[in-house]
Amino acid sequence: MSSNSFSYNEQSGGGEAAELGQEATSTISPSGAFGLFSSDLKKNEDLKQMLESNKDSAKLDAMKRIVGMIAKGKNASELFPAVVKNVASKNIEIKKLVYVYLVRYAEEQQDLALLSISTFQRALKDPNQLIRASALRVLSSIRVPIIVPIMMLAIKEASADLSPYVRKNAAHAIQKLYSLDPEQKEMLIEVIEKLLKDKSTLVAGSVVMAFEEVCPDRIDLIHKNYRKLCNLLVDVEEWGQVVIIHMLTRYARTQFVSPWKEGDELEDNEKNFYESDDDQKEKTDKRKKPYTMDPDHRLLIRNTKPLLQSRNAAVVMAVAQLYWHISPKSEAGIISKSLVRLLRSNREVQYIVLQNIATMSIQRKGMFEPYLKSFYVRSTDPTMIKTLKLEILTNLANEANISTLLREFQTYVKSQDKQFAAATIQTIGRCATNILEVTDTCLNGLVCLLSNRDEIVVAESVVVIKKLLQMQPAQHGEIIKHMAKLLDSITVPVARASILWLIGENCERVPKIAPDVLRKMAKSFTSEDDLVKLQILNLGAKLYLTNSKQTKLLTQYILNLGKYDQNYDIRDRTRFIRQLIVPNEKSGALSKYAKKIFLAQKPAPLLESPFKDRDHFQLGTLSHTLNVKATGYLELSNWPEVAPDPSVRNVEVIELAKEWTPAGKAKQENSAKKFYSESEEEEDSSDSSSDSESESGSESGEQGQSGEEGDSSEDSSEDSSSEQDSESGRDSGQENKRTAKRNSKAKGKSDSEDGEKENEKSKTSDSSSAESSSIEDSSSDSESESESESESESRRVTKEKEKKTKQDRTPVAKDVSLLDLDDFNPVSTPVALPPPALSPSLMADLEGLNLSTSSSVISENIY
């Protein structure tokens, strides 16, 4: 037991033992087990007997009951010796349950656990891959430090296993060993390096996970595998996809230069079209050199796109954050549709997705504007979803849609969920400050709310109005008078304090009312909340300075009351104010400036989104959700100024390039027998990828401008690269022309191909290579050959590909036509902005905010 708590401490960063408090103490005493100790003992005796019986059924029964105990959190550790004997049982279910038990308690009974090790060592040599895998799995899950060398050996062997499934388990074991003994890091990194080279989709996700856990800073290990990972991505299982995408996002931010141009920062770039030419020129001059996207950068963006259609919300979110962080801004638009789709999902998914959308919508409004209505609140939404939706609606509000939004807000204000109604009022306040055209209408609407029957609503309105008035302290005397009247009825301290502050601040605009208010407040001073008392003191001081004739006595009375208040804050403030405003012989130079001090222009508060400062966290991460850096959060680096050497991603060329062609061919042969062959043929029949691209672009229609933009830029990049390919083919001369042609073709095709599920399915390329090479010879000059070649290319025999890239790598920097540049220009979706004139109906709508029948006529002579 002590060892248990020890390892626990270690994991949670033992240093903060003080904080550990509650969690650690109860680790030591597994709940409830000791309470019924005596009865447990008896029961366990009979379990022991059952475990020692000869019959499998009795053993199984006992094991089931023990697992039941574990599940309920009861302590079953004393059965360890009896259970561990059964580790070599022939019965699979008993064996599995023993494994469950072993993994749970081995840590506490280290010596006894060693008895089971030899069984696993034997199983590691089993001819059946699944048995090898499960042995490795359990062996590595036993957290006993003594067996670290054995585990290390097992992992090393398993990582060279022929079966990808065993290798996958080896990747999992790496993390387990690392958490057990971080000393092994160097050796484990070697294994990771080896497994990263693995071409199986089964392994990819797990090994990247291990990489992230053990050595996330060794980005150099990724270089050689980058292209392979990009191409395998579609076929990796969904959980692996998430991990790989997050890792590749970080990678891309360190290895490529920013695709965002300075102009991108401005959302409404299209306005620049109509500006004078000089401006344009200046802008282009500012760019140091024309930007071309690294083909590898493009590869990643292109290969993740299909994953937006995944049924797994985590994958969609991962792709969305990848697009957000590394794609050109003009292309990021396509993620919004998929994110909005996730809003149909469970409440927890909605919560996370809405948070991320909230962050995005602050920076790039245009992305989510078309989906405005998807964020409308339903009365059945939980409050946390409602407030997040409100947040997004506020971010999306602009001159064009504000009238519809305000009408929608009207319904929300009336909601039975008062917390939500209050949030809506805050929102209206924020809209009013952001969109100047509606400030007055919003203000009027809010004033009408002041006569609402619900106190929370009124209080919130007062607070918001105060902020609004502070922002434009023009002629709002009427409103202030109205609010002064409210002092009689409102009891919420914040609201009362806000009203008093407002009156004090504007005491010269309402000379008749202010002293009267002070008089009333003086009467009720002792029974007010501290917050209100402070504001009464303030009001008194301000009036004393501006209108001492009427208020001198009142203020002194209040100061006297304050002097003997229970709260030291108030006593303190009273003393301070008295010294400052009441002239006496001791008062220093300061009191001359008292008026300036009290009635200075105060900066208006900024009504900001609570999501404003979240953008420095990578989207979709735990840290972003909590807005706190979580343990193990890996910072997303800024784009490098100059791209690091792209050639590091090239994989060494194998001398005889031709030798690889048959291998690819072999794969195609294999796949022909499989089920996906058909679709591949179909795709081959379509002439070129650019055709199918544009087709799909127009078909999907909805995708709109940004989508097509993305397509065309892809096309052009492909065109240019294929050009370069063929050129370099000529230049190099070493390769015959056919290869060059094939490459260019392949490059074009790769886009449409790599979505195929077939990647890497052929396990033994060697065996079939002979056969397929003969086929290759026979059809060397036919067209079909080049087609099949291109197909095999899609399966990414990495070596082959990298040979090609080596060819086209050199000319990349050579020249880039202006056309290319244009294609990369951001075209932020032009949202039709009707002239910001306010519809007349809006006024009427806001009038409707008035909920009650009571008239809101304000008259001065009430006082």
Partner 1 sequence: MIHSLFLINSSGDIFLEKHWKSVVSRSVCDYFFEAQERATEAENVPPVIPTPHHYLLNVYRHKIFFVAVIQTEVPPLFVIEFLHRVVDTFQDYFGVCSEPVIKDNVVVVYEVLEEMLDNGFPLATESNILKELIKPPTILRTVVNTITGSTNVGDQLPTGQLSVVPWRRTGVKYTNNEAYFDVIEEIDAIIDKSGSTITAEIQGVIDACVKLTGMPDLTLSFMNPRLLDDVSFHPCVRFKRWESERILSFIPPDGNFRLLSYHVSAQNLVAIPVYVKHNISFRDSSSLGRFEITVGPKQTMGKTIEGVTVTSQMPKGVLNMSLTPSQGTHTFDPVTKMLSWDVGKINPQKLPSLKGTMSLQAGASKPDENPTINLQFKIQQLAISGLKVNRLDMYGEKYKPFKGIKYMTKAGKFQVRT
Footprint (CB under 8 A) of partner 1, residues 25-64: 26-27, 30-31, 56-57, 60, 64
**Distance in Å, CB of 349 to partner 1, minimum:** 6
The three-state secondary structure class of 280 is helix
Cα three-residue angle 9-14-16, rounded to 5 degrees = 125
Range in contact with partner 1 (rule: CB under 8 A) among 239-247, 276-284, 537-545, 802-810? 239-247
Query: Which x/- pattern, by CB under 8 A, does the window 641-680 give for partner 1?
Result: ---------------------------------xxx-xx-
Of the candidates 51, 120, 143, 467, which one interacts with partner 1 according to CB under 8 A?
143
In terms of CB distance, is 359 or 805 closer to partner 1? Answer: 359
Q: What would the DSSP string read from start to end of 468-536?
A: HHHH--SS-HHHHHHHHHHTTT---HHHHHHHHHHHHHTTTTSTTHHHHHHHHHHHHGGGS-HHHHHHH
Instruction: Kindly state whether residue 398 participates in binding partner 1, applying the rule CB under 8 A.
Output: no
**Total number of residues that touch partner 1 (CB under 8 A):** 133
Instruction: Kindly state whether residue 401 participates in binding partner 1, applying the rule CB under 8 A.
Output: no
**Listed residue (690, 700, 699) closest to 752, CA to CA:** 690
Where residue 627 falls (left for φ over 0; alpha for ψ -120 to 50; beta otherwise) is left
First CA to last CA across the chain, in angstroms? 77
**Distance in Å, CB of 755 to partner 1, minimum:** 4
Instruction: Kindly state whether residue 317 participates in binding partner 1, applying the rule CB under 8 A.
Output: yes
**Listed residue (861, 855, 860) closest to 480, CA to CA:** 860
**Distance in Å, CB of 207 to partner 1, minimum:** 11
**Distance in Å, CB of 160 to partner 1, minimum:** 18
Range in contact with partner 1 (rule: CB under 8 A) among 230-238, 477-485, 715-723, 769-777? 230-238
* Contacts of range 561-570, beta carbons closer than 8 Å, 24 or more positions apart: 561/522, 561/525, 561/526, 562/525, 562/533, 562/537, 565/533, 567/530, 567/533, 569/530, 569/534, 570/530, 570/533, 570/534, 570/537
**Distance in Å, CB of 60 to partner 1, minimum:** 7
In terms of CB distance, is 701 or 840 closer to partner 1? Answer: 701
Instruction: Kindly state whether residue 414 participates in binding partner 1, applying the rule CB under 8 A.
Output: yes
715 contacts 690 by C-beta, under 8 angstroms: yes
Range in contact with partner 1 (rule: CB under 8 A) among 87-95, 220-228, 534-542, 803-811? 87-95
CA atoms within 13 A on the CB side of 799: 13
Instruction: Kindly state whether residue 416 participates in binding partner 1, applying the rule CB under 8 A.
Output: yes
**Distance in Å, CB of 853 to partner 1, minimum:** 8
Instruction: Kindly state whether residue 348 participates in binding partner 1, applying the rule CB under 8 A.
Output: yes
Instruction: Kindly state whether residue 352 participates in binding partner 1, applying the rule CB under 8 A.
Output: yes
* Residue 583 amino acid letter: P
Instruction: Kindly state whether residue 410 participates in binding partner 1, applying the rule CB under 8 A.
Output: no
Of the candidates 346, 566, 601, 784, which one interacts with partner 1 according to CB under 8 A?
346
* Contacts of range 688-695, beta carbons closer than 8 Å, 24 or more positions apart: 688/748, 688/749, 689/718, 689/748, 689/749, 689/750, 689/751, 689/752, 690/715, 690/718, 690/719, 690/748, 692/752, 693/751, 693/752
Considering only residues 252 to 311 of the shown chain, the ones binding partner 1 according to CB under 8 A are 306, 309-311
Give the C-alpha separation, 103 to 44, whole Å.
20
Instruction: Kindly state whether residue 625 participates in binding partner 1, applying the rule CB under 8 A.
Output: yes
In terms of CB distance, is 31 or 732 closer to partner 1? Answer: 31
Interacting residues of 111 by C-beta distance below 8 A, sequence separation 6+: none
Give the C-alpha separation, 331 to 710, whole Å.
6
Instruction: Kindly state whether residue 622 participates in binding partner 1, applying the rule CB under 8 A.
Output: yes
Range in contact with partner 1 (rule: CB under 8 A) among 67-75, 475-483, 657-665, 795-803? 67-75
Of the candidates 182, 632, 640, 836, which one interacts with partner 1 according to CB under 8 A?
632
**Distance in Å, CB of 352 to partner 1, minimum:** 5
In terms of CB distance, is 116 or 621 closer to partner 1? Answer: 621
Cα three-residue angle 37-39-45, rounded to 5 degrees = 100
In terms of CB distance, is 209 or 463 closer to partner 1? Answer: 209
Range in contact with partner 1 (rule: CB under 8 A) among 6-14, 359-367, 710-718, 834-842? 6-14
**Distance in Å, CB of 61 to partner 1, minimum:** 10
**Distance in Å, CB of 12 to partner 1, minimum:** 4
Determine the angle formed by the axes of helices 2-11 and 17-28, rounding to 10 degrees.
Answer: 150
Burial 311-325 (b: 16+ CB within 10 A, else e): eebbbbbbbbbbbbb
Considering only residues 498 to 527 of the shown chain, the ones binding partner 1 according to CB under 8 A are none
Cα three-residue angle 292-297-302, rounded to 5 degrees = 110
Instruction: Kindly state whether residue 752 participates in binding partner 1, applying the rule CB under 8 A.
Output: yes
**Listed residue (751, 735, 752, 721) closest to 800, CA to CA:** 735
Query: Which x/- pattern, by CB under 8 A, does the window 162-191 give for partner 1?
Result: -xxx---x--x--xx--x------------
Considering only residues 447 to 486 of the shown chain, the ones binding partner 1 according to CB under 8 A are 452-454
In terms of CB distance, is 659 or 695 closer to partner 1? Answer: 695
Instruction: Kindly state whether residue 347 participates in binding partner 1, applying the rule CB under 8 A.
Output: yes
Of the candidates 331, 709, 753, 776, which one interacts with partner 1 according to CB under 8 A?
753
Burial 431-467 (b: 16+ CB within 10 A, else e): bbbbbeebbbbbbbbbbbbbbbebeebbbbbbbbbbb
**Distance in Å, CB of 827 to partner 1, minimum:** 21
